[in-house]
Amino acid sequence: MTKEKMTSMQRVLTALEHREPDRVPMLLPLTMHGSRELGLSIRDYFSRAEYVIEGQIRLQEKYGHDAYTGFFYGPAEIEAFGGEVIFVDDGPPNSGEPLIKSLDTLDRITVPEISKVPVLQNILKTIRTLNEKADGDIPVLGVVISPFSLPVMQLGFESYLELIYNKRELFWRLMQVNETFAVQWGNAQLAAGATALAYFDPLASPTVIPRNIYLETGWLIAKRTIAKLNGPTATHLASGRVLPVIDDLVKTGTGAVGAGSSEALVELKQACQGKLAIIGNLNGLEMHRWSKEELFHRVKEAIDGAAPGGGFILSDSHGEIPWQVTDEQLRAISEAVREYGTYPIS
């Protein structure tokens, strides 16, 4: 029997409660694609909250996915600390030269004042307006980069590994600043109307760092930070492996996990059953090469693997769909979810 049609909010919340909604919720994390809708460069698009608001509204209406996102770009938080952001014409903005040139200057870094950072204020305005537009029917997602993963952009990866392995006292000094900022920034987004936060923590993955080092560092940080956030979180490891740390992530207090494309959803579903909802896991890097038939196959494969019983939200594997993925391909994903994702899943 077909279930009564739900709003996007009802659909997502039902899935997160490990129950079956009317159909599989679909999150298309489209950050840059709104610029294409408005005929703007990516740099110009992110220059005003009004552009991003209009872009998010148009994209949701076009593809029928189940959330708005207030996220602009990853290095917005580096910009808050005074760092450089580099814009390109066909991809996400990236951080420039490391903000912290020498480990000896770590004691000078301070927590940014959110009210004085234009890009953060634009993000908060976007979240507030989208929340008003949604009127309780569509979730609005915010994003916090974990205090443990942010230093990859603050320091550069090589210097950060030196800090983790050989200079723990300085490491914990930086974590104190980053944790304070993450809590303030996350709670500011929730106060502005974000329904939930994505806690981006790629360094939590054993793809990047050994689990024993994570447990000594990033895991403790995640437990403290998530406990101080005034709303639900979904932890995303940005395509890294998650299966070896599922039980660790559960203990941080997060409610869902982003699945990388390299792991079998059937195995991940068994490990997460009743403990974490799964978000994923279409391969964002490969997606732009897929035909409509391949997209339908991949969507069906993901739904078959993780959707029965609820606790699953279809999305990409990385947390941001690349600029190169076309309108036709995004429409195909939406069509496939509606064809294969209606509960009960056969």
Residue 1: per-residue pLDDT: 56
CB 91 within 8 A of CB 49: no
Q: Give the domains, in start order, of the chain with CATH numbers.
A: 8-340 (3.20.20.210)
Name the pTM for this structure.
Answer: 0.96
CA distance 109 to 117: 16
The residue written with tokens 């923590």 in the block is: 201
Residue 104: per-residue pLDDT: 84
Residue 255 — pLDDT band, cuts 50, 70, 90?
A: very high
pLDDT at 327 over 90: yes
Nearest partner of 86 among 94, 74, 77, judged by Cα = 94
Residue 2 — pLDDT band, cuts 50, 70, 90?
A: low
CA of residue 157 relative to chain centroid, distance: 21
Residue 346: per-residue pLDDT: 76
CA distance 224 to 146: 11
The residue written with tokens 């056969």 in the block is: 346
Q: What are the angstrom distances between the C-alpha of 50 and each of 15, 85, 186, 230?
A: 31, 20, 21, 26
- For the residues 79-106, what does the mean pLDDT come to? 92
Residue 301: per-residue pLDDT: 97
Residue partners of 288: CB distance under 8 A and separation at least 6:
322, 324, 325, 326, 329
Query: What confidence tens digit (pLDDT) does each residue in 218-251 have?
Result: 999 999 999 999 999 999 999 889 999 999 999 9
Query: What confidence tens digit (pLDDT) does each residue in 18-43 have?
Result: 999 999 999 999 999 999 999 999 99
Measured in degrees and rounded to the nearest 5, phi and psi for residue 148 equal -75, -30
CB 171 within 8 A of CB 151: no
CA of residue 5 relative to chain centroid, distance: 26
Query: What confidence tens digit (pLDDT) does each residue in 96-114 have?
Result: 999 888 888 888 899 999 9
Q: Which helix (H) or strand (E) holds 188?
A: helix 168-192
CB 281 within 8 A of CB 256: no
pLDDT at 175 over 80: yes
